[in-house]
């Protein structure tokens, strides 16, 4: 039951991040190929890096090509829907990003623990899964990635990884641990967006 929940949550995370990639591509007026590329790297970039690092090869989307079909279908449907919508609310991309971050963080941490890796490594893999795809998307789009700015983004992912690994260490049921970590990540990220919370900026200027 848990494995099915994680699997479908992973697919949902791919859909959410793929949509965020489409929206960024749309703002930059990319052609359909560019849209699909940006949607793909956003959706599977972090998970690909995670699997390569922990030795889970072939990586998940090669083992299960459903991910590729889901991403392609999401990109096409999103392009059609966005054209008909004419105007997309400004909060849509950050909101989708927040949900994707929460989903991918706990899935990344869960997969690392399933390979019997230390908790600290699971936290790092959760953050990698959650933020790396968005970083690649932003770099390809010529933007400074959110994770490298003062935004509370990677911090929310770290919190989610800590909540998940800590809950598991305390003997909490895995399903509850996933829920706790996802809620924690999402709550911190949405709170940062709503109240404009941010980390201190490193500045060498006097």
- Residue 183 to residue 13: CA distance in whole angstroms: 14
Taking only the tens of pLDDT, the chain with its 206 residues reads 778 888 998 999 999 999 989 989 988 999 999 999 999 999 999 999 999 999 999 999 999 999 999 999 999 999 988 766 556 677 777 888 899 999 999 999 999 999 999 999 999 999 999 999 999 999 999 998 878 887 899 999 999 999 999 999 999 999 999 999 999 999 999 999 999 888 887 776 75
Neighbour-count burial of 119, counting CB atoms closer than 10 A to its CB (0-12 exposed, 13-18 middle, 19+ buried):
middle
- Residue 148 to residue 167: CA distance in whole angstroms: 28
Instruction: Report in angstroms the alpha-carbon separations of 55 from 49, 52, 63, 66, 117.
Output: 10, 5, 13, 21, 11
pTM beyond cutoff 0.95: no
3-state secondary structure of 54: helix
């Amino acid at each position: 039951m848990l494995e099915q929940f994680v699997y479908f949550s992973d697919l949902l995370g791919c859909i959410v991040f793929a949509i965020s990639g489409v929206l960024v591509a749309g703002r930059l007026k990319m052609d359909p190929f560019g849209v699909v590329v940006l949607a793909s790297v956003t959706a599977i970039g972090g998970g690909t890096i995670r699997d390569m690092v922990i030795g889970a090869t072939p990586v998940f989307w090669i083992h299960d090509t459903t991910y590729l079909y889901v991403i392609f279908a999401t990109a096409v449907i999103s392009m059609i829907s966005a054209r008909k919508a004419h105007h997309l609310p400004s909060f849509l991309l950050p909101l989708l990003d927040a949900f994707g971050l929460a989903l991918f963080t706990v899935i990344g941490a869960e997969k690392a623990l399933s390979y019997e890796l230390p908790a600290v490594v699971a936290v790092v893999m959760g953050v990698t899964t959650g933020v790396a795809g968005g970083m690649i998307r932003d770099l390809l789009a010529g933007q400074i990635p959110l994770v490298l700015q003062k935004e509370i983004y990677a911090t929310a992912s770290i919190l989610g990884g800590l909540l998940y690994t800590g809950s598991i260490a305390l003997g909490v049921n895995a399903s509850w641990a996933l829920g706790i970590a996802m809620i924690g990540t999402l709550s911190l990220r949405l709170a940062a967006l709503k109240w404009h919370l941010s980390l201190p900026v490193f500045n060498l200027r006097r």
